[in-house]
Chains A and B, each alone.
Chain A
Amino acid sequence: MSEPRTLLRIDRVSKNFGRVRAVDGISLDIRENEFFALLGPSGCGKTTLLRMLAGFETPSDGQILLDGRDIARTPPNKRPVNLMFQSYALFPHMSVRANVSYGLEMERLPAAEIRSRVDAILATTELVPFADRKPEQLSGGQKQRVALARALVKRPRLLLLDEPLGALDKKLRGAMQLELKRLQHEVGITFVIVTHDQEESLVMADRMAVLKDGRLLQCDTPHAIYEHPSDRFVADFIGVMNFVPGRADANGVQATNGTKITGKVPATLSSGASAVAAVRPERIRLFPSPDTANRVAGTVEALAYQGLDLQVHVRTALSQKPFLVRVTADAADRRPVAAGDRIELGWDAADVRIFAD
């Protein structure tokens, strides 16, 4: 496959509100037809960045290039970008059909074309039976689909979604995650979604950017970010991670109690520097073979049954917090453990990530 084309280039964009730097020199490329997630804790600048893409804020610095053209100062009604608001922002005095038609009327398209395009998008979003209803007569999920249809019917180059699933309950959210992905595939429009829910972006995004304090920490595929987080914050923010604090040496981390964790040390970390070794719960085995690189003894503190797998909390001398170990239900059935058992944990050197602390 050929390298996908860059649709949107965010080039060293910053935004100051008074003395607060909400977005601090972020550069990102978003590709044609991809599902891109901006992820970060609240206050990380992701919403400000999104509002700059939509045109509601002007960058203090930097460029936003859409198809190579700088749109940083183009007003929102003049850019081929649409935003699906977190509150949906449906016009309460208009029917579903009028809400969806509004954007096309602004383009002064012929009535027949507006009608056929609105009909088509209402069918795609399964809203035909509700076309004559007012927003207040709709459920949360239906409102969300109207907001989506209203933005999609404009066939934007870029669709921005601000916490699109935030207002839905957990079960509906799961269904809508897949629904959004299906729709994105169907309409072939680039989606940029803002979320604070790392699970959501892992499930939906083709690529994602992790933001913190207005800065970009890492931008890659969910798999790459999960497997190779760029720093301690990303490792902690995405998924679940066990951390062992200590000091770096040539081929691992020396834990505070003297235990050696073997793993690849990044070149930027000098010997003796304060560091953490990190390992994912699903990479730890409960009964390691004797040749396993890292082995440590511990006591089972608690078990949390989660259907497909079992979460085992193991107290060790390596860290303050107990180790989280994820074991498949099958494995747990073969060699059951119980709270209070003395056991051994083990993991390979290849599964260890080492970060500056």
Chain B
Amino acid sequence: MADGGLSPSAAERYRKLSQTRLRSNLLMAPALAWLTALMVVPCALVLALAFFRRGIYGGIEYTFTLENFSQVLDPLYAGIFLNSARIAGTATLIAVIIGYAAAYAISAAPRRLQPVFLFFAVLPFWSNYLIRTYAWIVLLNREGLVTQLLRWIGYTGEPPSMLYTEGAVIAGLVYNYLPFVILACYAPLSRLNPELAEASRDLGASALTTFRRVILPLTVPGIAAGAVFVFVLSIGNFVTPALLGGGRFQMIGNLVYDQFLTANDWPFGAALAMALIAIMLAVLMAQALLADRAAGRTREAEGGADG
């Protein structure tokens, strides 16, 4: 009899639960459809392309081969991968140092000014990526603004060659992705209880030790998120190296672009693109795994607490 009293409410609960589930599935459907049509299917097509042979006149010959992937490992192309990783890594390091410092300064500013500073930090984002990159050309040109500034303060020698160098590419990448790092580092810094730093000072630590042992470890997740963002976006970037590198510095992005649009070797371009996606996924997953482990420790901790 007790069961008789219980089961209707249990059934009711079950009905409600499946209703909620149905509703959330419906809400998710457009996004899933979008992702499938514009991300999963094209990626699968590109992946399939990588296993075919290039036709003699640039078309595709539908015979299975692994040649494209072995070609990716050719020292010539592997070298470009490594070079891209090096450039992206350098840009990441510089962006993290500048971005963290900026985020730290913003989080130390008076509370009501912080949104204003953040707004200015993110402001360049509201203009077009291409225009922002072209602006660097205007700056770094042989007779560009930087040279004119040098002349104005009395420099008379040869104009420095800044444009179309690796430095210009790195500067462009750092500039374009800096706001991501600032935002990613600002979040944990602004949430940090200021009494933690005071407690460290109170216990005898210098300002530097306080930063190294308390502030930095507690804001590493933000640094990691910002760094992964810059690295992943930089390693596959092709606009910045094309415009600021002047075609002299090839990164994987340019190589893929060339294979599809100039060399007309779609299968090899596809294999390169797949290799690039694999690298990005590996980096993203490593970061997700680390973040998850940190979160898992927290959850475990909450479960294990006793009164």
Further pairs besides A76-B202, A77-B202, A106-B204: 20, Cβ < 8 Å? A75-B201, A76-B201, A77-B204, A77-B205, A83-B199, A85-B195, A85-B198, A85-B199, A87-B195, A91-B196, A91-B199, A92-B196, A93-B217, A93-B218, A103-B203, A103-B204, A106-B205, A136-B301, A139-B307, A150-B203
Say whether A92 contacts B203, CB under 8 Å: no
Contact with A along B292-307 (1 / 0, CB 8 A): 0000001001101111
Chain A residue with Cβ nearest B203:
A103
**Interface check B20, CB cutoff 8 A:** no
Say whether A77 contacts B206, CB under 8 Å: yes
Q: How far is the CA of A193 from the CA of B192 in the complex (A)?
A: 26
Across-interface contacts of B206 in A (CB, < 8 A): 77
Across-interface contacts of A85 in B (CB, < 8 A): 195, 198-199
**Interface check A102, CB cutoff 8 A:** yes
**Consensus secondary structure, chain B interface:** helix
Say whether B201 contacts A102, CB under 8 Å: no
**Interface check A186, CB cutoff 8 A:** no
A-side interface residues toward B, CB under 8 Å? 54-56, 75-77, 82-83, 85-87, 89-93, 102-103, 106-107, 133-134, 136-139, 150-151, 154
Across-interface contacts of A82 in B (CB, < 8 A): 202-203
Across-interface contacts of A137 in B (CB, < 8 A): 301-302, 304-305
**Consensus secondary structure, chain A interface:** loop
Across-interface contacts of B204 in A (CB, < 8 A): 77, 103, 106-107, 154
**Interface check B214, CB cutoff 8 A:** yes
Say whether A154 contacts B203, CB under 8 Å: yes
Say whether B301 contacts A56, CB under 8 Å: no
Q: How far is the CA of A136 from the CA of B307 in the complex (A)?
A: 12
**Interface check B209, CB cutoff 8 A:** yes
Chain B residue with Cβ nearest A103:
B203
Select one of A86, A102, A136, A139 contacting B203, CB under 8 A: A102
**Interface check B193, CB cutoff 8 A:** yes
Across-interface contacts of A55 in B (CB, < 8 A): 201-202
Chain A residue with Cβ nearest B302:
A136
Q: How far is the CA of A107 from the CA of B217 in the complex (A)?
A: 21
Across-interface contacts of A75 in B (CB, < 8 A): 201
**Interface check B200, CB cutoff 8 A:** yes
Chain A residue with Cβ nearest B305:
A137
Chain A residue with Cβ nearest B195:
A89
Most A CB contacts (10 A, CB to CB) among B201, B203, B301, B305 go to B203
Chain A residue with Cβ nearest B199:
A89
Across-interface contacts of B196 in A (CB, < 8 A): 89, 91-92
Say whether B198 contacts A56, CB under 8 Å: yes
Say whether A139 contacts B202, CB under 8 Å: no
Say whether B202 contacts A83, CB under 8 Å: yes
Across-interface contacts of B200 in A (CB, < 8 A): 91, 102
Select one of A77, A91, A107 contacting B201, CB under 8 A: A77
Closest 3 CB pairs of A and B: A106-B204, A103-B203, A89-B199
Say whether A92 contacts B195, CB under 8 Å: no
Shortest distance in angstroms between A168's beta carbon and chain B's nearest beta carbon?
13
Across-interface contacts of B301 in A (CB, < 8 A): 133-134, 136-137
Across-interface contacts of A150 in B (CB, < 8 A): 203
Shortest distance in angstroms between A132's beta carbon and chain B's nearest beta carbon?
11
Shortest distance in angstroms between A222's beta carbon and chain B's nearest beta carbon?
28
Chain A residue with Cβ nearest B206:
A77
Chain A residue with Cβ nearest B218:
A93
Say whether B305 contacts A92, CB under 8 Å: no
Q: How far is the CA of A268 from the CA of B229 in the complex (A)?
A: 74
Say whether A54 contacts B217, CB under 8 Å: no
Q: How far is the CA of A86 from the CA of B198 in the complex (A)?
A: 12
Contact with A along B196-226 (1 / 0, CB 8 A): 1011111111100100011001100000000
Q: What would be 14 A-B contacts, judged by CB atoms less than 8 Å apart? A: A56-B198, A77-B203, A77-B205, A77-B206, A87-B195, A89-B198, A89-B199, A102-B200, A102-B205, A106-B209, A137-B302, A139-B305, A139-B307, A151-B202
Chain A residue with Cβ nearest B298:
A136
Q: How far is the CA of A136 from the CA of B300 in the complex (A)?
A: 10
Shortest distance in angstroms between B108's beta carbon and chain A's nearest beta carbon?
15
Q: How far is the CA of A82 from the CA of B302 in the complex (A)?
A: 30
Q: How far is the CA of A84 from the CA of B218 in the complex (A)?
A: 21
Across-interface contacts of A93 in B (CB, < 8 A): 217-218
Chain B residue with Cβ nearest A86:
B195
Q: How far is the CA of A133 from the CA of B302 in the complex (A)?
A: 11
Across-interface contacts of A54 in B (CB, < 8 A): 202
Given contacts A85-B195, A89-B196, A136-B305, contact A106 B203 (CB under 8 A): yes
Q: How far is the CA of A49 from the CA of B247 in the complex (A)?
A: 65
Which parts of B161-216 form the interface with A (CB within 8 Å)? Answer: 193, 195-196, 198-206, 209, 213-214
Chain A residue with Cβ nearest B217:
A93
